[in-house]
Structure 1
């Protein structure tokens, strides 16, 4: 049971119900929702972002209804996915045409003018080219030989969710976890954010790994090389021909000339976004179901609860960094980062259940999600709990957990030092 710090009671000013107040968190009333969301979010900028939010909620509600009716979520290859690939290939075709044209103009010369034009087209094509991300150079990296117990757990979870393990693990100060590929050969990278990893139980960590590795097995195409790079190319085009603000006469003319291609690019972005968003939403729900299969439904739901209050973990770590900047408690402590992750765990365990419930209600009100491409968290949790409860296919073992802790000990020290000295932005 969680402990509550500074717990007091007071009557609700709206309905008179007795409410419990913890000075660290917002005081609110569960009976009438008084003050449940005192900091209303600002409207998301841009039509595309607002539209994504609406579609995320709509798709989430449909998928929830599908599961509640006894349906089973599976990856789908539909007409929208095929259309998205065709549009993406056309976008890459334009880039390839620019590259070929650049070579042709440079070779033919055209009295020198062709060389200039060819160099310009070549530079443009280079900025629009598909990218193959490399390994991060600002995070501790672990290979199989560095962390055999961690990789053994990852491999076991990967087998349960129907995929293979990863080639590299990066450890970061982000309160998140993610998977991606790097290099031309498409090697796999798992990024574990310690602020999230450290506040989860061993079984919840297995569910988290199940979710992330599930993205490799469920056909999440939006972040793949073909569609992902097409979206990036279109975004780059949009940046190049964005209208000048407060234009002079020449800039106003250029804005007018670019109006048609700008509308075309924006339209392609919106179409490609709509074609892929539903598949991306389904991929998140599928990853949630794989998290439940690997770590149990209970553990997967608990991870979502932690995500609702992860901002409290971020705030606590930032306070530690701020305290160091002003001279931590006026002491001569040479290692203020020592025990940082233990203090974070204790802080998270002290969060009262009322704060979790408040965040769940805010999620329902706002349609909370990690970003505009993720389904609202409260719908993901409802969808997970609507299905048949699953027991864990991979069970945390104390011996392996102690081995993983030893393997992460050096990254834990390094990142704790970095957080306290520089904050979470480094």
Structure 2
């Protein structure tokens, strides 16, 4: 499928250089960086002195981390003092839940038949509601077991060996322009979630790099993905949700919100501290996961993956446009299966038509924005620079045409189901 571009030329209003424009994307000048990041310019303008100071501090921290990681591709995240403090704080969070359980049981046992019993039941209810929740394996949507997708699982196993870890237990497919790994349940079963829109944007080697990146999080000591810290985050998030004030409060709700102000501020403070303690390790883990991506799929594929992620929001725009298009524009006489299958072709064609100058604009915009204070990932331009400055590595895993054909066949049902879901329900991102 071919996409008609809307390119034309015009002089730059800042320096007069002739620039190419495409009505689908931001117009900018590569010679003087005019309008390279209009959204970021507005954000920087309204930040104020404190915001600018935080950006400077974040940039210094990020540059130190970039220099620290350098070409170190294999070393796991060290058990530094911040990491140990984060574990201690997470254990304290879980200790609150344990105290609620112990207090509830004590009140029920010793207050049986009296006023202590309902109070104890209330404490136990709080512990059950606000306590840690282990992620569960998905039960809805396309979920593939080893018997459903042997070729895909075989590919994941090959990449896992390169990453220095084991494979996954379950693979789920969803509509996110993303991919992730999660450890589920007390048995610590590994779940790999592949966002089909992102998968469809990538070449076969870039897909290998994507899987190498995700599996690399298991081998590089990413503390945020451990059960202790992950469940502490979930508990704190639940506490914050229950303590949040109502949007349009009644007098009674205003009184409750006033009472909850101190504990709500305390919970938010603990979340902020926990974020600060784990941010360095989390960003370092992203760099090391990029190295895992390069070893699995090649440096070229890992860099290409980062470029694709830079323009991932274009895929979201395409999917929303197709989902919101009038039925007549979807050739209403076609069968639903044909419309659904064409969705991925449209997505791939739109992604393939993005001009190189748009990729370059987004790289420069990312460099201008620099390090965000609360971002869990290092800036993409630094991740890309690190891969390109190291010695290029070839792919350790290569997919031939036959294997690619089998994987495509294993994903065919998911492609059809998710395309129909997007066209029927809309794209939520």
TM-score, normalised to structure 2's length? 0.89
Change (3 A) 1:236 1:388: same
Task: Note if 1:391 corresponds to 2:389.
Answer: no
* Higher alpha-carbon deviation: 147-156 or 33-42: 33-42
Q: Structure 2 CA distance, aligned partners of 1:329 and 1:123?
A: 51
Superposed displacement of residue 163, structure 1: 0.3
Cα RMSD, aligned residues only:
2.9
Q: Structure 1 CA distance, aligned partners of 2:250 and 2:315?
A: 48
Q: Structure 1 CA distance, aligned partners of 2:94 and 2:53?
A: 26
Superposed displacement of residue 57, structure 1: 4.6
Aligned ranges 1:16-415 → 2 under 5 Å: 16-40=16-40, 57-68=59-70, 74-75=75-76, 76-109=78-111, 112-242=114-244, 258=260, 260-323=262-325, 325-328=326-329, 331-335=332-336, 336-367=339-370, 372-415=375-418
Say which SS state the counterpart of residue 327 (structure 1) adopts. helix
Superposed displacement of residue 112, structure 1: 2.5
Q: Structure 2 CA distance, aligned partners of 1:103 and 1:295?
A: 54
Q: Structure 1 CA distance, aligned partners of 2:171 and 2:97?
A: 33
Superposed displacement of residue 72, structure 1: 5.2
Say which SS state the counterpart of residue 187 (structure 2) adopts. coil
Q: Structure 2 CA distance, aligned partners of 1:53 and 1:107?
A: 54
Q: Structure 2 CA distance, aligned partners of 1:88 and 1:7?
A: 53
Aligned 8 A contact 1:56 1:281 in 2: no
Unaligned runs of 5+ in 2: none
Aligned 8 A contact 1:147 1:404 in 2: yes
Q: Structure 2 CA distance, aligned partners of 1:321 and 1:64?
A: 41
- Please list the CA deviations of residues 310-335 of structure 1 after superposition, one character each: whole Å capped at 9, or x if unmatched: 11111111111111x45325642233
Aligned 8 A contact 1:129 1:233 in 2: yes
Aligned 8 A contact 2:341 2:415 in 1: no
TM-score, normalised to structure 1's length? 0.90
Change (3 A) 1:171 1:258: closer
Unaligned runs of 5+ in 1: none
Say which SS state the counterpart of residue 115 (structure 2) adopts. helix
* Paired residue total: 419
Say which SS state the counterpart of residue 168 (structure 2) adopts. coil
* Higher alpha-carbon deviation: 355-364 or 299-308: 355-364
Aligned 8 A contact 1:60 1:380 in 2: no
Say which SS state the counterpart of residue 24 (structure 2) adopts. coil
1:420 to 410, 423, 426: 423
- Please list the CA deviations of residues 238-271 of structure 1 after superposition, one character each: whole Å capped at 9, or x if unmatched: 3444467898887777666555544443332222
Q: Structure 2 CA distance, aligned partners of 1:228 and 1:375?
A: 20
